[in-house]
Amino acid sequence: MNDFNALIDLLFNFWVGLAILVLVLVKSSIKFVPQNYAYVIERFGKYHKTMTAGLNFLVPFIDKVAFVRSLKEQAVDVPSQSAITRDNIQLVVDGVLYLKVIDPYKASYGVDDYVYAVTQLAQTTMRSEIGKIELDKTFEEREALNINIVSQINDAAEPWGVQVLRYEIKDIEPPRTVLDAMERQMKAEREKRATILESEGERQSAINVAEGEKRAKVLAAEADKAEQILRAEGEAQAILAVADAKAKALEVIGSVAVEEKGQKAIQLDLAEQAIAAREAIARESSVVLLSDSQASPSSVVAEAMTIINTLNRQQKNPQ
């Protein structure tokens, strides 16, 4: 009976141990790879396969996970370093590098530490690129400098299974003396622009003033011209009106001169005019010498009547 119980215990322990062994083997053979990660598997110390995200299986005690590679984009700080420009100015430059593993096999077996390798490559490439340009261009062409560095790093890092997405220069620090000189240069440039703008403003102001004076003179001349034209037109109209009035007066005088009453009225008017003329001459001069025969009112009236009678006869007997 004791032997039977011992056999039962032995079988139970065996099955329990077997079950535990199976569970351990199953657990060690199943691998869940996270998203954006890759497991590099070796079998007997030799590369076997690369596990991607999801459920994967291993052969226990034969296969092992040699490397775990992240496929995410990584930001790597590039330490500050000295570089000399084309015009022999020493700069201190630092930057940041953005890279990504695109081939886990090459990243595991192509280089010992791909991050360190790419960082060193970025530093040497950056020194080389800065040595090709002058100091002023390092600030103006920073974008082109970044692109050139990325292009050269990718060419060299292809065997490492790493792709550099971009390189950004964080800071460029020239020597203190160069900074002072650049500050003086910028100040002089600002003063130059201010002087140019001021002179440009004065020139434009002078042009505007001259243009205004010119326009004022033109407007004044046009106004004067228009005034003269209007005055001339007014004088012409006045002359025409006076002439027309005289013509009408002569016509009226001529129409009444044929009658006896009209002739007497004309005689009386001529006599009054002769007397008024003598008075005017007397006022202008203290000495007046006139012939009695020609200056008397009767003589003037007689002469005027002779002319009127002649005109009337011509009108009655036209040729």
pLDDT at residue 25 in the model: 73
pLDDT at residue 103 in the model: 92
pLDDT at residue 2 in the model: 64
* Domain locations in the chain as residue ranges: 2-70, 74-174, 258-316
pTM of the model: 0.52
Asked if 163 and 157 touch (Cβ cutoff 8 Å), the reply is yes
pLDDT at residue 226 in the model: 85
Q: Which fold has domain 74-174?
A: Tetrahydropterin Synthase; Chain A (3.30.479)
3-state secondary structure (DSSP) of residue 93: strand
Asked if 118 and 167 touch (Cβ cutoff 8 Å), the reply is no
Give 61's contacts (C-beta < 8 A, 6+ positions apart): 28
What residues of the chain score a pLDDT lower than 70? 1-5, 7, 12, 14, 178-179, 182, 246, 249-319
pLDDT at residue 82 in the model: 86
The residue among 131, 132, 70, 123 whose CA lies nearest residue 97 is 123
What distance in Å separates the CA atoms of residue 311 and residue 78, rounded to the nearest whole number? 129
